[in-house]
Amino acid sequence: MSIEIPSGLTDLLQDFTVAVLRERPEDLVEFAASHFGKLNESGNKGKRGVKFSEPADADSDVDDEPPELPRNRFSRRKSVCAEKYDPEADEEGENESKIVFPKSDEQRARLAASVKNILLFRALEKEQMQQVLDAMFEKRTQPGDHIIDQDDDGDNFYVIDSGMYDIFVNGNKVGAYNNTGSFGELALMYNTPRAATIVATTPGSLWALDRLSFRRIVLKNAAKKRKMYETLLESVSMLKSLEPYERMNLADALVTKKFADGECIIAQGDDADGCYFIEDGSVRITMKNKDDPTKEKEIATYSKGQYFGEPALITNNPRAASVYSCGSVRCAFLDVNAFERLLGPCMDIMKRNIGHYEEEVERMFGKGPK
């Protein structure tokens, strides 16, 4: 069954999410009632039908004025946020000259170590990741420096190299970073003012990525990746039962993995770490001969749009077969945690498929794969 998402719903929920992240309310239900109540009152005054994600007028009194805070030495600008960035409409970004900040070998080593666990960068291709590293620049910080100030426009995304930083919302400390982490992406992703103030409490160092580079490398790639994976997932018959938003969440969780000809993707007997959806190429599935483990017999071949590796995740058993690439192969990988979280609606279908698979193996081998 196809469900049409009402116009404006995405913007409405996006604005509410940003408001929650900014205010961090203790009672989420009460906050939601107040938030949507204000929007309803605004609508009754003749504003119904506008996109809630559009920036408010400069003299808007919807939000209380935050406490006066010292100005930071990075000269943060204060104004209404710029227009929303549309990754699909940004054709000029492809031809923009790439920003490169020269770095020493020591700086590059520190930068690579700082960004290796950043979730936003996980889906980037090698070339795109290199563009990010080239475009990032170092900022040294001192105690008392305000890195970002609540309600300012977003100018940079920051990755912590070293140092400790306190987080303030409406003048109240709500958390801290200790020599690791990243911040500043919300204002760049959702085109909203800064949701918090970040103040350095020790000497330290940050790596910064400017607003334009962040959008044209990270956000544009994320949009292209999602669209590509959604198209791939639509071709997987097992996933037809997923709602559109469930398929979208699944697309966001996938990571591309490439394999050379003859490479072992899954080894029989190994623990399961995830499952694979074939983007391009084909693979062959083999099982060891029980009487002679040095020999393997091919039991199936899979190609684009098919998936493998899920039986061990469903049964919590070791891998029952090996999988080898036939030529160059590109797969979308879903790790075990995301598998359990996102593919619940498809579990019954997958269990039935496993039953058919085991029957086929028994027909070929005279016994099950265990």
Q: Which residues of 188-219 are buried (b: 16+ CB within 10 A; e: fewer)?
A: bbbbbbbbbbbbbbeebbbbbbebebbbbbbb
Q: Which fold has domain 9-47?
A: cAMP-dependent Protein Kinase, Chain A (1.20.890)
- Measuring CA to CA, which residue among 289, 239, 245 is closest to residue 268? 289
pLDDT attached to residue 43: 56
pLDDT attached to residue 137: 94
3-state SS, 13-58, equals: HHHHHHHHHHHCCCCHHHHHHHHHHHHHHHHHHHHCCCCCCCCCCC
pLDDT attached to residue 206: 96
Other beta carbons within 10 Å of 38: 13
- Locate the domains of the chain by residue range: 9-47, 94-218, 235-365
8 A C-beta contact, residue 269 and residue 290? no
9-47 and 94-218 in the same fold: no
Distance CA 347, CA 238 (A): 9
Give CATH for domain 235-365: 2.60.120.10
8 A C-beta contact, residue 350 and residue 343? yes
Distance CA 131, CA 124 (A): 10
194 marked ligand binding residue: yes
pLDDT attached to residue 348: 63
pLDDT attached to residue 253: 80
8 A C-beta contact, residue 239 and residue 233? yes
Tokens in use for 266?
């899954």
């269990």: which residue's tokens?
A: 351
At residue 166, φ and ψ (nearest 5 deg) are -90, 150
pLDDT attached to residue 208: 94
Q: What is the DSSP letter of 66?
A: P
Q: Exposed, middle or buried, 333 (CB in 10 Å: 0-12/13-18/19+)?
A: middle
Distance CA 203, CA 140 (A): 8
Distance CA 243, CA 222 (A): 20
Helix (H, G, I), strand (E, B) or coil at 160: strand
CATH class belonging to 94-218: mainly beta
8 A C-beta contact, residue 98 and residue 202? no
pLDDT attached to residue 157: 93
Distance CA 78, CA 43 (A): 28
């949701």: which residue's tokens?
A: 195
Distance CA 190, CA 82 (A): 11
Residues β-bridged to residue 329: 259
Across 289-319, where does the E strand assignment appear?
296-303, 307-308
Q: How far is CA 257 from CA 122, 278, 279, 289, 333, in A?
A: 12, 10, 10, 29, 7
> CA-CA-CA-CA torsion for 184, 190, 195, 196, nearest 10 degrees?
0
- Per-residue pLDDT 10s for the chain (370 aa) are 444 556 566 667 766 776 776 666 777 777 788 778 777 766 544 333 433 333 334 333 334 443 343 444 444 444 434 445 455 555 545 555 678 899 999 998 899 888 887 877 876 778 888 888 999 999 999 999 999 999 999 899 999 999 999 999 999 999 999 999 999 988 887 788 999 999 999 999 999 999 888 888 887 877 777 788 888 877 777 677 677 777 787 887 888 889 999 999 999 999 988 889 898 999 999 998 877 878 898 989 999 888 898 887 777 789 989 999 999 999 988 888 877 777 765 666 566 655 555 554 555 445 544 4
Helix and strand totals (H; E) in the chain: 11, 14
48 marked ligand binding residue: no
Distance CA 18, CA 195 (A): 8
